[in-house]
Chains A and B, each alone.
Chain A
Amino acid sequence: MTEGTLIKVGMADLNTAEGGAVIKTTGLGSCVGLTLYDPVLRIGGMAHIMLPSSDIARGDQLNVAKYADTALPELLDRLKKMGASPGRLVAKMAGGAQMFAFMGGDSMRIGPRNVEATKQMLDRFSISLIAEDTGGNYGRTVELSTGTGIFTIRSVQFGVKEI
C-alpha cells in the first residue's frame, strides 16, 4: 500500500490500511463510520457499523463488521496483527444520523443508538475518542488518511470538514 491508494469499506464491512493509503466509506446515514489509528506506525482501520448489538442477529452467519459490539474487537485484532499498539490507538467517528424525523419506534432511533453503542465499546477497550461528527439528519461520506490521521467528512449540505 502506498500513498494515493484508496481502500473502500462497504456497508457492514471493515478494513485496514497503512503506508499513506486512504480508507473510505460512502453514504453513512444512521450507520457509524468508526476509525482507529496508530499515529506512530501510521496504520488505520475503519468499520461501517450498521446496528448497535449482535444480540439481535438471527441466521447462521454473523458478519462481525455489522455490529458495534463485534466490529470494534475485530478491527482491534487486525490492527494488532499489523503491529499497532492498542495503547496508542485513537478513535474518530462520524455518522449516526437520523435521516427521517417523524418516526417513532426503536428501529428509527438507530443512529443515536449506534453512536452510543460504539462509545461504550471504545470505553470498554480504553480507546480514547479524540474527535467525532455524529447526529444530525444528513448523510456523510468519510475517509481516513493513514499518512496524517486526518479524518475527512463530506456531506451534501455542509461540504467538506476535517477532524
Chain B
Amino acid sequence: MDVLREVGNIGAGNAATALSTLLNKPVDMAVPTVSLLPFEAIADRVGGSEAVVIAIFLRVEGDAPGNMFFIINREPARRILQGLLGFAAAENDMYSELELSALNEIGNILAGSYLSSLADFTGLNMSPTVPSLAVDMAGAILSYGMLQFGTMGDDALLIDTTFLEGQQEADGQFFLIPDPESFDRLFRALGVPL
C-alpha cells in the first residue's frame, strides 16, 4: 500500500505542478490514499453514484495498463476555466464546445504529466490514450474503470489524489485504477520483493 501511495505521490505531484503552471497559482495536493473499495464506494468518493461530475477518462496502455480519471466538480471547473480562458463559464450544466475542449485539454496535460513522471520513476512504458470527457452521473462514468476488476470480484483498487488550491478543498481528483495484472509489474519496477 505504501508503494502504491508513492505511485500516487509521484504522479499527482507532477500533475499538480502542471496545473499550477496552467493557472499561474500554487496548487497543492493531499496525501494520496490507496484503498480496495467495493464498486459502490468508489462513486461515494465524489459525492455518490448520481452526483454530476466532469470527468476526463483515459486508458493507460503499455507495461502497466489501467484506467485513469481526472474528476472535477462544477464549481472548481468554472474557476479553472475563468482563470484559463478569462471569462466565466456557463451558469448551468451546459458547457460550450470551447469550454469542454479546454477542460479536456487540461485533463490531457495533467494525466500526461502524471503518467510521464510515473513512467520515468518506474522505468515502465506507460502511455495515455486520447482522453474523453463526460459530464454525467459519477456512477455511470466510474463504472468504466471497474470493468477489468469486474471479472475478479466486487472491489477495485483505487489510488485517489485530491488537488487543493489554497484552502479550497477537492478542486479535482485523480483516480488511478490499475488493471489487476499491473500490480506485479508496478511492484517489481519499484523494487518490492514479491
Contact = CB atoms under 8 A, between A and B. Distances in A.
User: Which range contains the number of B residues in contact with the other chain?
Assistant: 20 to 34
Interface stretch (B20-28, B80-88, B149-157, B182-190): B149-157
B52 to A, nearest CB: 6
Contacts of B146: 11, 50
Nearest to A26: B49
A58 B152 contact: yes
A139 B141 contact: yes
Contacts of A29: 136-137, 139-141, 143-144
A145 interface: no
A133 to B, nearest CB: 14
B154 A63 contact: yes
Contacts, number: 99
A27 B139 contact: yes
User: Which range contains the number of A residues in contact with the other chain?
Assistant: 20 to 34
Contact of A107 (B39, B137, B147): B147
B140 A97 contact: yes
B174 to A, nearest CB: 17
Interface string A56-92: 1111010100100000000000000000000000000
B192 interface: no
Interface in A75-130: 97, 99-103, 107-108, 110
10 shortest A-B CB distances, which residue pairs? A27-B139, A139-B140, A29-B140, A27-B49, A139-B137, A100-B132, A26-B49, A27-B137, A139-B136, A11-B39
Interface of B: 39-40, 43, 48-50, 52, 57, 59, 93, 129-130, 132, 134-141, 143-144, 146-148, 150-154
Given A31-B143, A51-B150, A102-B132, 20 more contacts: A11-B40, A11-B49, A11-B139, A11-B143, A12-B39, A26-B50, A27-B43, A27-B138, A27-B143, A29-B139, A51-B147, A51-B151, A57-B152, A59-B153, A138-B140, A139-B137, A139-B139, A139-B141, A141-B137, A156-B136
